[in-house]
Amino acid sequence: MSGLRRARGYSPMSATPESSAVLADVLATIRACVARGGTPVVGFDLDGCVFDTRPRQVHIFRELASRRGFDALYRVEVEHFKDWSLANSMRNAGLAEAFIAAHEPEVRQWWASHFFTTEYVLYDHAMPGAVSFCRACADAGAIVIYLTGRDIKMRAGTEEALRRFGFPYDDVSAVLITKPTFEMDDTAFKESALEAIAARGEVVSYFDNEPANVNLFHERHPAAKVVFVETDHSPRPVEPVEAIPWIRSFLLV
């Protein structure tokens, strides 16, 4: 197991020769598919994959901090979001246990009522290099599909964010697929969406930060270059299968 595999958490500037080779291999696979007359399809998850959601979370924390006079919450910066526990994020920022115990339920309620909204996805940042890579995929001849667990109510903000950061979106080679309802399980939704994607062409590659999702795509499309993007992911005790390469950055070295 390489050092790249063991490294966990967001580190979007951490490009390595190995991660660059993974990205180059995907582009070569797209070109090979086009060369033999195929229609290559590349899928990208959004949250924690081509978008860094931590700025959205910091913004949500600071609005609550300001409104409620919770000044200590301003200590929470992007690097403190290491998993899906908001208590851990506050702890990582050095907030007092007494504050966390007293206010975590309110913070969590505030977070949950803002994070999954079309307005707040606009606070996300594109992962460095992600736009260039998505464009390179489209330029090489691939249909770029954004396959997200965001639901239909978050679609308008998602489209705006894709446009603002310059992702290929407003052309025939790019498609956004959102969940029909918030309640639907992300992996079950992506499993059903897979068939729709496969109908558009040959699925040559798929990128996601959720181990269960990359494992599913790898199982259904064993010939595709499925890539695990190490940022953060759900607390489900699932690891990407050994055959799946990891990247932490879309930058090239």
- Enumerate binding residues for Mg ion (CB under 5 A): 45, 47-49, 209
Residue placing its CB nearer to Mg ion in the complex, 53 or 103: 53
Which residue, among 102, 130, 81, has the nearest Cα to 247 in the 3D structure? 130
Residue placing its CB nearer to Mg ion in the complex, 159 or 208: 208
CB of 191 to Mg ion, least distance (A): 15
Tokens at 42, concatenated: 């590349």
CB of 225 to Mg ion, least distance (A): 18
Which residue, among 88, 96, 45, has the nearest Cα to 70 in the 3D structure? 96
Quick check: helix, strand or coil at residue 180? coil
CB of 154 to Mg ion, least distance (A): 13
- Residue 127 backbone zone (phi > 0: left; psi -120 to 50: alpha; other: beta): beta
Residue placing its CB nearer to Mg ion in the complex, 47 or 202: 47
CB of 67 to Mg ion, least distance (A): 29
Distance of CA 252 to the CA centre of its chain: 18
Residue placing its CB nearer to Mg ion in the complex, 43 or 48: 48
φ and ψ at residue 53, rounded to 5 degrees: -85, -5
